[in-house]
Amino acid sequence: MNRPQSLTELYVAFTRLALQGFGGVLAVAQRELVERLEWMSKEEFVETLAIAQVLPGPNVVNLSLMVGDRFFGTRGAMAALAGMLSLPAVIVLLLAMVYGELRNYPVAADALRGMGAVAAGLVLATGIKLLPALYKSPLGRWQALGFALAAFVLIGLLRWPLITVLAILGGGGMALAWWRLK
Amino acid sequence: MSGSHDLGLYLGLFLHFLVLSPMSIGGAITTVPEMHRYLVEQTGWLSETEFTTSIALAQAAPGPNILFVAVLGWNVAGLLGAVVAMGGIMLPSTLLTLTATRWARANREHLALRAFSAGLMPLTLGLIIATGWLLALPFLRTSDHRWGTLALIAVTVLLTLKTRLGLVWMVLGGGVLGALGFV
């Protein structure tokens, strides 16, 4: 695994990552941190994201804090966070200023629809790509895949609230992992 | 507006987001109903349309979706509004994340912690795929563009899995195809 050499490198990496993330940053985070920069393995990425997910706050922002902190402590966490938010904030506020003009063009809505479809495909592909991270799970490969499938059904199809699914499947998964690991 | 009125507005905005931050498990998007209640129904600082377009705008722009909070703050009270809203929503969750991360790193070999993260990993993957599904769903529900967008989603999945094509090019390509009326 590689690591960033400086706070600037960390800031630039997260700015670059955030600016590529239309409709969500998750897919880009996986591509950049795991595949291009090789700062984390597939397993480390999913494990960090799992913890980022249960803490309050946006998962990718928590992920940036955790990655920055791992390499450079508090300063690293702040550099990664600043990278994630500063330039994108400027862009989104500029967009908010010109939005009144843009919304009168139907072509803008058509372009947004195309971009939205691609964003959905990117997230789906990221999930498929990360599935092998479960193969080494202490739960057992098929049990872990079963839990993932159940989570997809409860949240994606039945629209249960996250907190309920966390309590049931998270709790169940943790109990099984505890039993297997002890 | 008088100075004290401004101060009350900024403080109210800051405190509102500060209180929501620790509750935002699963991302700030889960607290949107509460933001709507406060900003539209209770204070009337934003209209229904302003509220909805703030969120849509931030999702269409590059960067984390949390920036919709900055747009909400901007629409309530300009640049300073954006700053206090983002400060409020970020401060508690950031402190919590850093504290929890360090504690976890110091105790990484502890059985409870290993069980905790191993137990959550499958859930995280299920959640990612569910997110992709929910993002795709609105396109599949409208009959006008169903097949075009479905094909575009499928091609995107294939390109992401099989090539190293830059993701931003795919997104821009999708935008061009949409603008030209292909999807």
pLDDT tens per residue across span A138-172: 999 999 999 999 999 998 899 887 778 889 999 99
In Å, how far are A15, A40, A83, A146 from A76, measured between CA atoms? 14, 16, 10, 37
State the pLDDT confidence band at A101, using cuts at 50, 70 and 90: confident
Q: What is the distance, to the nearest Å, from the Cα of residue A63 to the centroid of all Cα atoms in its chain? A: 7
pLDDT tens-digit profile of A45-76? Answer: 999 998 898 888 888 999 999 999 999 999 99
- Residues A137 and A27: their CA atoms lie apart, in Å, by 22
Tokens 């490198």 correspond to what residue? A9
More confident call, B98 vs A112: B98
Partner residue opposite A56 with nearest CB, options B71, B96, B135: B96
Residue B126 pLDDT = 92
DSSP class of A6:
S
Do you know the residue count of chain B? 183
Å between B109 CA and nearest CA of chain A? 11
How far apart CA A25 and CA A80 sit, in angstroms, is 14
CA atoms within 13 A on the CB side of A181: 21
Give the mean model confidence (pLDDT) for residues B78-89.
Answer: 95
Average pLDDT, chain B: 88
- Number of other CB atoms surrounding residue B161 within 10 Å: 12
Q: What is the largest CA-CA distance in chain B?
A: 60
d(CA A100, CA B11): 28
Do residues B97 and B25 make contact, with C-beta atoms less than 8 angstroms apart? no
pLDDT at residue A40 in the model: 96
Mean pLDDT, residues A121-130: 91
Structure tokens at A147: 């839990």
pLDDT recorded at residue B4: 58
* pLDDT tens-digit readout, B91-105: 999 999 999 999 988
Q: From CA B112, how far away is CA B168, in angstroms rounded?
A: 40
User: How much of chain B exceeds pLDDT 70, in percent?
Assistant: 97
Query: What separation in angstroms does the CA of B97 have from each of A4, A99, A170?
Result: 21, 34, 19
Scan residues 123-162 of B and list those with Cβ closer than 8 Å to A. Answer: 123-136, 138-139, 145, 149, 152-157, 160-161
Q: For B112-121, what is each residue's pLDDT tens digit?
A: 888 988 998 9
Distance CA B167, CA B175 (A): 13
Give chain A's radius of gyration (CA, Å): 18
Q: Distance between CA B52 and CA B72 in Å, rounded?
A: 9
Q: How confident is the model at residue B5 (pLDDT cuts 50, 70, 90)?
A: low
Report the interhelical angle of B111-141 vs A141-151 (nearest 10°). 50
Residue B181: pLDDT band (50, 70, 90) is: confident
User: Long-range contact list for B48-55, CB < 8 A, 24+ apart?
Assistant: B50/B75, B53/A99, B53/A103, B54/A96
Q: How far is A103 from chain B (nearest CA, A)?
A: 10
Q: Which residues of A touch B152 (CB under 8 A)?
A: 114, 117-118, 121
At B1 the pLDDT is: 43
What is the rounded distance in angstroms from the CA atom of residue B24 to the CA atom of residue B21? 5
Q: How far is B135 from chain A (nearest CA, A)?
A: 5
- pLDDT band of B3, cuts 50, 70, 90: low
CA dist list (Å): A128 to A131, B39, B165: 5, 38, 17
pLDDT in tens, A24-43: 788 899 999 999 999 999 99
Q: Do B168 and A147 touch (CB under 8 A)?
A: no
pLDDT at B80: 95
Tell me the chain A residues in contact with residue B129 when contact means C-beta distances shorter than 8 Å.
123-124, 127-128, 148, 152, 156
Query: What is B51-103 written as a DSSP string?
Result: HHHHHHHHHHSBS-GGGHHHHHHHHHHHHHHHHHHHHHHHHHHHHHHHHHHHH
Report d(CA B153, CA B163) in Å as an integer: 15
Check whether B60 has a pLDDT greater than 80.
no
Task: Match 């494990």 to its residue by tokens.
Answer: A47
CB contacts, 8 Å: A65 with chain B: 94, 97-98, 101
Q: Residue A129 belongs to what H/E stretch? A: helix A106-130
In chain B, domain spans:
1-106
